[in-house]
Amino acid sequence: MNKIFPQGDSGDNAAGTKALPGGEGCGPLCCSRQGACLSAFLLLLLVTLAALIALVSILGFPPHTPGVQTCVTLTNRTGFLCHDRRSCIPASRVCDGVRTCAHGEDEDEAMCRDMPQSLPSFLVARCGDPSFWIYSDQKCDGTNNCGDCSDELSPVTTCPPCGPGWWRCPSTVFGYCGCIPRSLCRDHTQHCSDWSDEYSCPGP
């Protein structure tokens, strides 16, 4: 006995259209809608990008804050470089309560909060007693800043010879160590233990 199988619509088979679930097909109209959606998305993206560029051009980029850097002052001492990259202030002018840099970065709250731990290492010099410290530009400046001359004399510190404005001698003045200012020479007062400030020093 011959079985007769139902035949599908020959028109659909000839056209080669495949039915999707739900019985609906996706023709040229569907492709057109997808293209329109993609174009709209790209247009929105371009508009957003243009708005961001316009906003940046109006407001400008946020300022860049450079890190803390060292420098050398005109007197050949350790200094603190301000953010303008031109001003070099002495190390001892940092965190002294006075805004020396144009933007006040030398008085930055975080940097000055817990001195000397919060200070950059190049600004700090330790005395013979490590619990005491001075600013690095106060080292080898001829003055007894540590109180025990450890910032001026060996073995803690090695300083260059006395400068042209100083006279080298064993000082009797507490404020100085191995040198005294030449302005103190021949002033009829003993400032050197060997009296060389009165008899040998030529004066200022």
pLDDT score, position 7: 52
Instruction: For residue range 74-96, list pLDDT tens digits in order.
Output: 999 999 999 999 999 999 999 99
Q: Of residues 155 and 103, which shows the higher confidence score?
A: 103
Tokens representing residue 146 in the block: 């540590």
Q: Where are the domains of the chain?
A: 67-141
Query: At 27, is the pLDDT very low, low, confident or very high (cuts 50, 70, 90)?
Result: low
Q: Is the confidence at residue 195, as pLDDT, over 80?
A: yes
Q: What is the pTM of this model?
A: 0.62
Instruction: For residue range 141-184, list pLDDT tens digits in order.
Output: 989 999 999 999 888 788 888 888 999 998 888 889 989 999 99
Q: Is the confidence at residue 25, as pLDDT, over 90?
A: no
Instruction: For residue range 5-22, list pLDDT tens digits in order.
Output: 455 554 444 444 444 454
Could you tell me which residues come within 8 angstroms of residue 107 by beta carbon, excluding any fewer than 6 positions away? 94, 95, 97, 98, 99
Query: At 140, is the pLDDT very low, low, confident or very high (cuts 50, 70, 90)?
Result: very high
Give the mean pLDDT of 191-201.
93
HEC per residue, the chain: CCCCCCCCCHHHHHHCCCCCCCCCCCCHHHHHHHHHHHHHHHHHHHHHHHHHHHHHHHHCCCCCCCCCEEEECCCCCEEEECCCCCCEEEHHHCCCCCCCCCCCHHHCHHHHCCCCCCCCHHHEEECCCCCCEEEHHHCCCCECCCCCCCCCCCCCCCCCCCCCCEEECCECCCCECCEEEHHHCCCCCCCECCCHHHHCCCCC
Query: At 46, is the pLDDT very low, low, confident or very high (cuts 50, 70, 90)?
Result: confident
If you search the block for the tokens 């001492």, which residue do you land on? 77
pLDDT score, position 60: 54
Give the mean pLDDT of 122-130.
94
Query: What's the rounded Cα separation, in Å, for the pair 31 and 18?
Result: 16
Q: Is the confidence at residue 40, as pLDDT, over 80?
A: no
